[in-house]
Structure formats: structure tokens, C-alpha cells
Amino acid sequence: MAREVANVWWAMFGFAVLVLLVVSGLWIHAMLRQPRETGAEQARRINRRWIIGGGIVLPSASIVALLAFGIPAGRSMLPLPIEGEQPLRVEVIGHQWWWEVRYPESGVVTANQFILPVGRPVDIEVTSADVIHSFWVPRLGGKLDMIPGRRNTLRLQAAEAGVFRGQCSEFCGTQHAHMVLHVEALKQDAFAGWIETRTDLSHQPAGGVAGQVFADRCGQCHRVAGVSDGNRAPDLSDLATRPTLGAGVIDNDAEGLRRWLREHQSLKHGIAMPSHDDLSDETLDQIADWLETLGPRTKQEQTRP
């Protein structure tokens, strides 16, 4: 779909260059040529020729040519019925300032990362939990507004495996720029594995004070499969496998995670997660240690009865 959008762009660009050259040529010609006397009748004829040619024929032809390119490109992004393998359905919900991603067929939920299979169309139902956002993965297709109370559907299909960047493209508040979506297209079997290891996940709560603090505070907003049920903040059930924290603000590694837990309000000012200044370093480190274990099940765990 992105390729077709690019084709339309190049066609428009080529046509605009052509128009520029023709107009410039006419302009230079008009500057250089010797003025000629024309009679009243002849002047009227010339005027009529310009109005019909330049005012009716040329714009009509240009618009028809543009539509011939534009309509098929627009259609390819519509979720029209197709034959054969049906599109994968994914729900993406915009929040200030992060992405909730749901796979309703398997019940898998993740955040700030959108994994899709290569070569299969994906119907992305977008909506918003607060203000208007816009879903855009430029390498894969056009953008679509995410509007509270409405569901819009965008069809995308990745032609090859790879990592792409998605970005909110409708200004949604101070941290709009920090609303990056990690998009990854996996080969079909790798994608099936990705889904499988996240289906019916269940974690153990953290021990000691960390577990208590998580249950009393973090778990009120964050869900962790088997541990807490919060639904206002990103689901953390597969947190350990996400490339970044805070929707692209900082790398999700040992250092990044510990910094995020302490400095999230300065790294991404205004986010809903309250400051952790009243928690001891020891408690925060224990929580970080536990968060690092929140990943998909290993193959071993899956085969366990």
C-alpha cells in the first residue's frame, strides 16, 4: 500500500514537473517573440482557444489522470472483502501517549509494539481512549485517524520481514512526539510462534516488598497476566521483550528500565504514571528485577502439562 502511495506521489511529481516545463517554455517564448498585430476577430479566437484548451481540456485531463492513479491506491487500503485467507484482525487503541495493541483472535495483548505476519493482509481497527491520534507506519501504508468512540479500519500488508517505525501523526498533547510504535513483520511461522508463546500467559507475583508495592500501586493501572488486572496503563505481560520503554523514549535494557522507574516524569513529562520518589532504591531495583522476568513462555513451559 505504501508503494502505491509512493507511485501516486511520483506520478504527481512527474506531472507537476511537466507542467512547470511547459509553462516556463511558454513564458520564455512570450518574452522573446516579436509582438504581432492581431485583428479583433483573431484575438477573440485566440482567447477562446486558451479558455477551452487551458481552462477546460487540460484540467479535465489532469484530474482524470490523477484519479486513475489515486482511486486504485485508495481502494487498496480499504478493508474490502477478499477471497482466500482472511485478514488478521488487530485492534490498536491510542492513549496519551502510548499504543495498546490487541489480537482478538488469540487474546494476546501488548503495548507499543505491533507484530504482524509477512504476506498476509492485516485489518487494523483503530480507535482512541482519550483524544484523537493517528495511526501511521509510513513504510507500510497511509495514515488513519484514531477517534474516540469510533472504529476505523485500515488494511496493511507487509511484503517482507523487517522492522518499521510507526508514529502518531495527529497532535495529541505535549508528548505526541514520544508516541512511537515499534512495528515488526515476521515470517508466518515466526509470527505464529510469537502469538503462541503469549497466549494464556500467567506470571508469578514479585516477592517481598516489591510484590506488595506492585499490587498496591502499579497493578491498579497495569495488567500483568496472572498478577494484576489494571486497564489504564500499558499491559506489562510481555514487557521484557519490548525494544523500548515509554513508547520509544528509552531502550528497554537493564539500565534503561531502572532509569525509567526513577526518572519517567522527566524523561516523558506529564505521563499518567505518578512519580516514584517516595520508594527506596532497593524496592525499585527489586521491582525492576521482577519486571525483567515478564516475558513470553519458553518452549519448555509450553509443553509442560
Please, what is the minimum distance in Å from the beta carbon of residue 273 to Cu ion? 18
126 part of the interface to Cu ion, by CB under 5 A = no
Please, what is the minimum distance in Å from the beta carbon of residue 140 to Cu ion? 18
Distance CA 186, CA 135 (A): 20
Distance CA 219, CA 224 (A): 8
Please, what is the minimum distance in Å from the beta carbon of residue 134 to Cu ion? 7
Please, what is the minimum distance in Å from the beta carbon of residue 267 to Cu ion? 17
Q: 265, exposed or middle or buried, with CB in 10 Å at 0-12, 13-18, 19+?
A: middle
CB-wise, 158 or 179, nearer to Cu ion? 179
One character per residue 176-215, x = contact with Cu ion (rule: CB under 5 A): x--x------------------------------------
Q: What is the footprint of Cu ion within residues 143-182 (CB under 5 A)?
A: 168, 172, 176, 179
CB-wise, 176 or 217, nearer to Cu ion? 176
Q: Are the C-beta atoms of residues 156 and 137 closer than 8 Å to each other? A: yes
Tell me which stretch binds Cu ion (CB under 5 A): 72-80, 125-133, 154-162, 274-282.
125-133
Tell me how many residues contact Cu ion (CB under 5 A): 5
Q: ∠ CA(90), CA(95), CA(97), 5° rounding?
A: 120
Please, what is the minimum distance in Å from the beta carbon of residue 74 to Cu ion? 23
Distance CA 91, CA 124 (A): 6
**Residue corresponding to grid cell 496472572:** 226
Radius of gyration of the chain (CA): 27
Q: Are the C-beta atoms of residues 203 and 213 closer than 8 Å to each other? A: no
Where on the chain is the footprint of Cu ion (CB under 5 A)? Answer: 133, 168, 172, 176, 179
